[in-house]
Amino acid sequence: MQSLKRLVRQQLAHIQPPAPINNQYMTSAPSPQNAVDILKGEWSSRFPPPLSHLTAGPSALFEDVRLQWFASEIGSLQGRHILELGPLEGAHSYMLEHNGAESITAVEGNTHAYLKCLISKELLGMQRVKFLCGDFIEYLKDPECPKFDIGVASGVLYHMVNPVEMIGLLAKRCRTHILIWTHYYDKAWAAANKLESKFPYTQPSNYDGFSHTLIRQQYGNEPLSWIHFCGGSRPYSYWMYREEIIKCLEYFGFPKIKIGPDQPDHPNGPAFTFLASRA
């Protein structure tokens, strides 16, 4: 009995008492920084003018050259309805709206990222963006999921456990174009950077008749402990070869491929931007 009591005391010692409820209240006058600081330390993006003075994240995602390239290729987005997968903090959603999109439906599965999107929407006055909180694969599978003109999937494909499923489902919901930015697997890059253990094995796979190779990617313990981690929902994902990503879009009905900003020396792995269009 004494040993049981001692065990209970040891377990209780590790339980942190909840923060007092009054710690959740602001004591300063309302400001945009107050809203940003609700998730202090978690931001990846820095805000665009006139909010560039805010302390948020380091990356210029609200002025992303990849989206600027996309806009230059597409021309006017007026009248276009766009589906965005994984908006993160709403930066690309903001750029799409400012380029004239009729509507943007952005689906975010990370709950903290979703809250950051709502903060961005309020601070920047987005009017034609609707953020949805949930798994975009399940959204795409829903028979009631509407059709869109354009799909945007920046920074999500390499976080999937079934990346070809994502492409196949997205292709069914998009009428004209799909924009993707993603990392891809390159054996020489992994060897040169001594990261072979991050990609422990490859395996053949087939989805809806498309045969391809998947390369398992392990996040590792350190990234999973980061407060601003914005990867997948599991401790691993599957990457693809660059050429098979392109063939996959062609297979699912988007044969016209135009390569945009290319980053073979990206520090987190080779990456590229491309626009896939229906014939």
> How many other β-carbons are positioned within 10 Å of the β-carbon of residue 105?
20
* Positive or negative torsion for Cα 215, 220, 224, 227: negative
Distance CA 39, CA 81 (A): 30
**pLDDT tens column, 127-169:** 999 999 999 999 999 999 999 999 999 999 999 999 999 999 9
Strands (E) located in the chain: 81-85, 103-108, 129-133, 148-154, 174-183, 202-207, 210-218, 236-239, 256-263, 271-277
- The pLDDT value recorded for residue 224 is 47
The answer to whether residue 44 scores a pLDDT higher than 70 is yes
The answer to whether residue 7 scores a pLDDT higher than 60 is no
Instruction: Calculate the average pLDDT of the chain.
Output: 91
Angle at 106 between CA 233 and CA 176, to 5 degrees: 110
| Domain map (residue ranges) of the chain | 61-277
Exposure letters 214-239 (e unless 16+ CB within 10 A, then b):
bbbbebeeeeeeeeeebbbeeeebbb
> How many other β-carbons are positioned within 10 Å of the β-carbon of residue 210?
17
Distance CA 34, CA 29 (A): 9
- The pLDDT value recorded for residue 8 is 45
The answer to whether residue 193 scores a pLDDT higher than 80 is yes
> How many other β-carbons are positioned within 10 Å of the β-carbon of residue 76?
10
Q: Determine whether 271 is exposed, middle or buried from the number of CB atoms within 10 Å of its CB (0-12, 13-18, 19+).
A: buried
The answer to whether residue 48 scores a pLDDT higher than 90 is yes
- The pLDDT value recorded for residue 24 is 80
Q: Which percentage of the chain shows pLDDT scores above 90?
A: 83
The answer to whether residue 279 scores a pLDDT higher than 60 is yes
- The pLDDT value recorded for residue 16 is 56
Q: Which percentage of the chain shows pLDDT scores above 70?
A: 86
Q: How many angstroms separate the Cα of 112 from the Cα of each of 134, 156, 228, 251?
A: 12, 16, 9, 35
**pLDDT tens column, 199-258:** 999 999 999 999 999 999 998 755 544 454 566 567 799 999 999 999 999 999 999 999
**pLDDT tens column, 90-105:** 999 999 999 999 999 9
The answer to whether residue 36 scores a pLDDT higher than 80 is yes
Q: Are 257 and 276 in contact (CB under 8 A)?
A: yes
Strand 236-239 and strand 210-218: the pairing is antiparallel
The verdict on whether omega for the bond into residue 223 sits within 30 degrees of 0, i.e. cis, is no
39: DSSP letter: G
With left for phi above 0 and alpha for psi between -120 and 50, is residue 185 left, alpha or beta?
A: beta
Q: How many helices (H) and strands (E) does the chain have?
A: 10, 10
The answer to whether residue 80 scores a pLDDT higher than 70 is yes
Q: What is the largest CA-CA distance in the chain?
A: 75
CATH homologous superfamily of 61-277:
Vaccinia Virus protein VP39 (3.40.50.150)
Q: Are 215 and 239 in contact (CB under 8 A)?
A: yes
